[in-house]
């Protein structure tokens, strides 16, 4: 086995693309660690603190932001989201791979991070829905939102999809199983990357 | 399916590393095309012209070299070896992936190629034997060469292994099956690379 530092797989894509399912499957397979984001939005039914998100008050969030604890942060629909450096760097240095499910703004911030550990680890993947029709179905089928909210989500999704060329890799989602195979192949190949191998 | 240009997977590694077996398995699986090199060395028993190599006379080889037909060429053990551009570029432009089994000198030349098609396609993998002991066994077990030839091969292999850090990716060979899984994962992941996607 080669000694190496970990991969930071940053996954973006619109709501309904399948990116969150992909990240969860990669984490559940034991191949990568899931980086849990912080947010100031209230938990949805079934969401657990420390599992789905670290739910923080706005006061706590700003305190940590001032302390420089965040790798990236963003405002989405009026709520704050961010990823703690401490959540990521310890894993990378121990050779463990980390996956982060973040939006285009957050990925931009990590892409510009000057920290050598983060730059070496960085691997960015954009997940696209199979088609606009299927995206619309997926955003409608949640069954919890009004037509206006669905239309706004669709607008935001199409906006977000314009940014795929900023990413190193792009996956056009097909099925949950095939997306997982593709994502796992990307990580498996990247584990061979010389710039992360620490062997003499 | 995304429209994309092909990958040029350049595989190097010492004799006895398993690189040639890996390249053959990748080609036999139908996932990549094997780029057949030209050589001025005489065919070994069982080798076929146009399958294992294009066997050229020195006169033919120099003629094509002057015409700029080679992507790379090298002198190994007093014989000329080279890869024809025409063998590669047509596949790449049609979105087909190509694997080349070449030495460190040849890989250096391709790495410095100014041609945008080649630069975009380029993906370089160095295959290492599991250990020096196993490398020595493999170089000895061929049973066709004298102790002096084996010692020379071992010396050359260790020399070649010093160059692995020039490559983008490194595979430490374990078993034929596992090497294939790793090599296929590398290609599968690379097919998602945005810089080769030609979608609008």
Residue B1 has pLDDT above 60, yes or no: no
Whole-number percent of chain B with pLDDT over 70: 98
* Distance from C-alpha of B34 to C-alpha of A147, rounded to nearest angstrom: 53
- Enumerate domains of chain B plus CATH numbers: 8-35+96-196 (3.40.50.300)
C-beta separation of A135 from A16 below 8 A: yes
Q: Chain B partners of A195 at a C-beta cutoff of 8 Å?
A: 168
Nearest neighbour of B194 by CB, restricted to A2, A167, A190: A167
Nearest partner of A22 among A11, A7, A14, A33, judged by Cα = A11
- Lowest-pLDDT range of A43-47, A139-143, A193-197: A139-143
* Distance from C-alpha of A178 to C-alpha of A172, rounded to nearest angstrom: 10
pLDDT of residue A188: 97
Residue A185 has pLDDT above 70, yes or no: yes
Residue to mutate among B192, B196, B198, B200, with most A CBs inside 10 A, is B192
**CA A200 vs CA A167, A194, A196, B35: distances in Å:** 31, 11, 12, 32
Nearest Cα of chain A lies from the Cα of B110 at a distance, in angstroms, of 18
Residue A1 has pLDDT above 60, yes or no: no
pLDDT tier, A76 (very low <50, low <70, confident <90, very high otherwise)? confident
Residue A103 has pLDDT above 90, yes or no: no
ipTM comes to 0.88
pLDDT tier, B200 (very low <50, low <70, confident <90, very high otherwise)? confident
Residue matched to tokens 């000895």: B140
Q: How far is CA A113 from the centre of its chain?
A: 16
* Distance from C-alpha of A157 to C-alpha of A185, rounded to nearest angstrom: 26
Kindly state the tokens that stand for B120.
Answer: 């975009």
Query: By a Cβ cutoff of 8 Å, what residues of chain A touch chain B?
Result: 1-2, 125-126, 164-165, 167-172, 181-182, 184-190, 192-195, 197
Q: Report the pLDDT averaged over residues A139-143.
A: 76
pLDDT tier, A142 (very low <50, low <70, confident <90, very high otherwise)? low
Q: Which helix (H) or strand (E) holds B34?
A: strand B33-34
Please judge whether A170 and B1 are an interchain contact, meaning their C-beta atoms are less than 8 angstroms apart: no
Kindly write down the DSSP assignment for every residue of B77-90, as one continuous string: TTEEEEEEHHHHHH
pLDDT tier, A187 (very low <50, low <70, confident <90, very high otherwise)? very high
Please judge whether B164 and A192 are an interchain contact, meaning their C-beta atoms are less than 8 angstroms apart: no
Burial class of residue A77 (count of CB atoms within 10 Å of its CB; 0-12, 13-18, 19+): exposed
Nearest Cα of chain A lies from the Cα of B82 at a distance, in angstroms, of 26
> How many CB atoms sit inside 10 A of residue A60's CB?
13
Please judge whether A188 and B187 are an interchain contact, meaning their C-beta atoms are less than 8 angstroms apart: no
Kindly write down the DSSP assignment for every residue of B158-192, as one continuous string: HHHHTTGGGSSEEEE---HHHHHHHHHHHHHHHTT
Residue to mutate among B185, B187, B196, with most A CBs inside 10 A, is B185
Residue matched to tokens 């037509």: A147
Nearest Cα of chain A lies from the Cα of B130 at a distance, in angstroms, of 9
């Amino acid at each position: 086995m080669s000694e190496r530092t970990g991969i930071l797989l940053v996954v973006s894509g619109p709501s309904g693309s399948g990116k969150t399912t992909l990240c969860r499957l990669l984490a559940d397979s034991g191949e990568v660690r899931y980086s849990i984001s912080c947010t100031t939005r209230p938990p949805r039914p079934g969401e657990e603190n420390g599992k789905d998100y670290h739910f923080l008050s706005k006061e706590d969030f700003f305190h940590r932001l001032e302390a420089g604890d965040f790798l990236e942060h963003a405002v989405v629909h009026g709520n704050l989201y961010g990823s703690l450096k401490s959540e990521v760097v310890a894993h990378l240095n121990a050779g463990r791979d980390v996956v982060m499910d973040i939006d285009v703004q957050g990925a931009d911030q990590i892409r510009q991070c000057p920290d050598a550990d983060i730059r070496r680890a960085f691997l960015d993947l954009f997940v696209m829905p199979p088609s606009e029709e299927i995206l619309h179905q997926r955003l409608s089928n949640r069954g919890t939102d009004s037509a206006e909210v669905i239309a706004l989500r669709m607008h935001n999704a199409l906006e977000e999809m314009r940014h795929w060329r900023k990413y190193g890799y792009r996956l056009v989602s097909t099925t949950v199983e095939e997306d997982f195979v593709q994502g796992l192949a990307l990580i498996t190949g990247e584990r061979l990357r010389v710039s992360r191998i620490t062997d003499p």
